[in-house]
Structure formats: C-alpha cells, structure tokens
Chains A and B, each alone.
Chain A
Amino acid sequence: MRNLLVSISLTGLFCMLAFNNGGEISFPRPAGWPQPEYNFDNNPLHSEKIELGRALFYDPILSRDSTISCASCHLQYTAFAHTDHDLSHGIEGRIATRNAATLVNLAWNKHFMWDGALHHLDMQSLAPISNNMEMDENLDHVVFKLKQSPRYRSLFSDAFSDTAITGAQVLRSLSQFMLTLVSANAKYDKVRNGKEKFTEQEERGYQLFQQHCNHCHTEPLFTNGQFESNGLSVDETLKDKGRMTITGKSEDSLRFKVPSLRNIEFSFPYMHDGRFKTLHQVLNHYTAQIQQTPTLHPTLQHGIPLSSNDKVDIIAFLLTLTDKDFLFDPRYSFPK
C-alpha cells in the first residue's frame, strides 16, 4: 500500500515536471545539485516557448544565407558539440577560431564562451548569430525574416500571446530550449543515487579523479565555472589569450572557461582549439606536456603524476559520465 502511494506521488511529480501542453513548467533540479544561476522568474519555462526555441535552434534561418543552424555545430548525439571539427564552422565554409562547446546544464552557467565574453544565456545566442565567421547575420534581420514566415508568426503568437515578433522573444525562446538540456542521468549519477555500482576500475578512476581533477572539474557539474590556465602551449596560428581578450588583464592571460566533462566520450576533439582528439592525448598533456606560464593553475605546476594504468582507470571513470538518455532524448532532437 505504502509503495503504491509512493509510486502514485512520484508519478504525480513526474507529470508536474514533464513536458505537457499545459503551459508553465517548473525547472527540475536534480537531487543534490546547486541552485541554478539562471533566473527563471524573468523567463519562466513554458512548453510552447521551449518548442519555439527548439524550432529556432534547428533552423538555418538564423544565418545570413540560411545555410547553417545552431545544430550545425551543436549536435545532440555528440553532446551538442561538433564532433571531429577542431574549430567551429560558419557560412560559406568559413572557419572560426574556437572549438564549439557542448551545450549542457547551461542553467548553472554564469559565463558563456571559452573566454566568458557573454554573461547571460539570453545574450549568448547573439554572438554566433552576429559573428562574421559563423552565422554572419544580425538579430534585427532575423526578426524581419521570421515575420515573413506564417509558421513562425503562429509559433510566436502561441508562445507569447502577442503577434509582434521581437528580438528579445527570439533570444528568450532559444534560452528556454537550451535550459532544458539537462544531463543528470549518467552511470555516475545512478551510482551517486545508489541505483548502480562502479566497476572496480571505474572506482579506482573515480578516486584518482577526485584527487587530481575535481578542483577544476568539480562534481556534480564537472566544472567549477571558473577560468583556468591548464598549461597548453599557445597555438601560433590562433594566438588566443582566452579570458584576457575580454578583461584586458594580464592575470587572465591563457585562462579559458573550465568545460563540463559530462558526455566527454562524445564531445571530442578537446580543449578550446580542439587540439586533442582522444582522452589519452588529454591525459598525456596533463602528465607530461604542461607549459610553465605565469597564470598556470597551481595544482598543475609539476603536471599530474599518473601511471599508464592510472590513465586507463581515469578514462574508465570518465566514460561513466555518458548519459544516453540525454544524447537520445527525443525532446531535444530535430523537431518533426
């Protein structure tokens, strides 16, 4: 009887959180996770706004010549990163200067882009839309194009109960869809919730991870949300100074935003310039290739001492961050 009650109330809870046609949706915060950074009071989640954002996310109308969409570089099956491409692509085959980042658990992000150029998820979409190496479009013209489309006129009017289409509405809808991209059901999470157990190797990897990696790639988000210098040599063709580009401060030289490691199995290549193709290459960097720079993170001064067995164990652990439910969630895929 008691079990029945529990399951009824759990079902009820699920229905409350589930996507439905009833309008407002509360944001489901996974157990034990911190408060999101995003202020939902200013943009409460709403099923029709999320669907509108999803339509926009997958629509090349956002680019100047209608050839690329957000999803061109942020593919669901690869954790919303751009597999096999070290630098992001734009219209007319243009190549930009940084690796397309994963889009995951964005509600907990305070800074966006590798250098934190954007400080709010709502504003983040402006950057790829306007960057001449990416979509090379401007928001005003996107609004103009959307107003010509009977489909979008109806989607906007359903979502905002208002026939005008504004730039703010475009950005809010994109935020809404991206906010739903929550990955919290990897094996790691199931172990944390007592539903599964690590193998011995994964457990050894987890211990090593906590000892050597966790101060920057902090659980449960697997990022501390800060900008750190991890001792990469400067790519002479890009000469990317990272955070310093935005702040102009020398203490921010070569610092980049610490990326989340969730779904890292599929988000290769790695680093801000996509220089490493495999996790082995990444670990080899941390053990033997650290460049001494004035801003290097103190824990990396002497590299991370790992044997080859340790590396294999850490990788076994990192693979437990793969969340198949997230990668194949039909709510995130191309809208039908």
Chain B
Amino acid sequence: MKNLLGAMIVLMFALVVRGQQVQIIFVPTWAKKALITDTVYLMQNDEIMVEELKFYISNIALQHKGKVVWQETNSYHLLDVNKPGSLQFTLTKPTDIKFDEVLFSLGIDSITSEAGVLDGDLDPTKGMYWTWQSGYIHVKLEGKSKHCPARKNRFQFHLGGFRGETNSFQNVSLKTGNSNRIVIELPVDNFLEGIELSKQYEIMIPGKQAVALSKRLASLFKLKTQ
C-alpha cells in the first residue's frame, strides 16, 4: 500500500514536471505570407527589401478569464527572422491549467535592463545591447527602400529605451483559446506602410520616435486564423 502510494506520488510528480506543451510560433509576414529576407517586395510605388529583423519576446504568461494562471520563468527569447529555429519555442505548463489568452512583451523590461550582464539570449554578444549607452535594443529592423535617402538606400530602426518617457517596452495580449499550438503573425508590410521612408529611415536612440514605432509594431501582432 505504502509502495503504491509512493509510486502514485512519483507518477503525479512526473506528470506535473512533464506537463503539457504549448507551442508558440511567430511568423513575420509580408502580404500575408511568411516574410523572406533579401527579397524585393513592391509596396505602393516603392521597392522594399528586409535584410534583418530581430526582436525580443519576454514575460510570456497564460491567462484565463482575465487572470494570469501561468508564467514562463526566465522568459526571454530573441527572435531572428534569419534563424527560423529562433521563431518558435515550447512552453511547458501543468496539464490542469486552462487558458484563453496569451500575454507577452515586446522588448526587455526596465528591471532586467537595470540588472548587470545576463546570459543566454540576453548576452551582449547577440548584438542587441547598445554599447554607447546602457540598454537593450528591443527591435532591430533593417533593409533597403528605393525612397530612402540614406547611404545605399538603407533604413535602420533600432528601437529601444527603458527609462521614463523613453521607455518603448510594450505589452501585448492575444485571445487564443486553450490551444496547444499558437501561431502569431507580425505583418511587417503593415508596419512599413505606416512609415514615410523618404523622411523617417534611421532611429538608433531611445526617444519619442522609438516609443511611437514600438507601440505601433506591438499593436500589429495577431493570431493566425486557420
């Protein structure tokens, strides 16, 4: 009897540890299809090519009826459109937890930004930490546009900032239902449509422009409907 109880406890423990897996897949898109870098797209009367898109997704949590029921620990993911493996990851939550909404943030929060050097995706070798001043680059989007007056027609948006009014860290929530496979799209074409690339093409410092663009980018995340 005692052995049986012991075995049950071990089994329950194993189930909880194993948990249930929820797959999260981010898909940056252009014209409703997966974005391909170094490819020329036509947009209005412009020719646009995206060379690089990297962004941090952090603080992932699951919510049920408006209440947080599960949070990922050490929740920092650097997503890089040129490294497809980085665009998806798996959450392991206890089997009995149900959810209807996913919460996440675009960027790295101010508390983490205030801490010292960190490992993994937060290691400064990832090219997402400014070196001329402190702070993570939440989003890096670089490419070329025919209308861009910069050298080699290049646009460069390095969106960051974590202090006070220059804080460009954004929270996002998406109604998902209790699904174990969640596909989240980020329509990059819609983001660039809203920018006059002949005038605004280079942001490398925290400030009003970075905050406004981060807000708009965060508002574009949407659940892929099958």
Contacts and interface: CB of A to CB of B under 8 A. Distances in A.
Interface string A112-141: 000001111111001101110000001110
B115 A126 contact: no
A248 to B, nearest CB: 7
A246 B135 CA distance: 12
Contacts of A172: 116-117
Contacts of A123: 116-117, 124, 129, 134
Contacts of A139: 124-125
A171 interface: yes
Interface string A123-161: 100110111000000111001000000000000000000
B118 A168 contact: yes
B115 A131 contact: no
A120 B131 contact: no
A280 to B, nearest CB: 35
A298 interface: no
Contact of B116 (A120, A140, A166, A167): A120
B115 to A, nearest CB: 7
A175 interface: yes
Contacts of A122: 116-117
A35 interface: no
A248 B117 contact: no
B116 A117 contact: no
Contacts, number: 64
Nearest to A245: B133
A166 B132 contact: no
A42 interface: yes
Contacts of B202: none
Interface string B113-132: 01111110011111101011
B19 interface: no
Contacts of A126: 124, 129, 131
Nearest to B135: A119
Interface in A234-255: 246, 248
B76 to A, nearest CB: 13
A193 interface: no
**Per DSSP, are chain A's interface residues mostly helix, strand or loop, or mixed?**
helix
Contacts of B125: 138-140, 143, 166-167
Interface residues of B, number: 18
A43 interface: yes
Nearest to B207: A248
A31 to B, nearest CB: 27
Contact of A118 (B118, B123, B127, B133): B133
A39 interface: yes
A197 B99 CA distance: 72
A69 B43 CA distance: 49
B193 to A, nearest CB: 29
Interface in B93-124: 114-119, 122-124
Contact of A168 (B114, B123, B133, B207): B123
B131 A131 contact: yes
A119 B124 contact: no
A130 B117 CA distance: 16
Nearest to A246: B133
Contacts of B115: 42, 120
Interface of B: 114-119, 122-127, 129, 131-134, 207
6 contacts: A122-B117, A126-B129, A130-B132, A140-B125, A167-B124, A171-B117
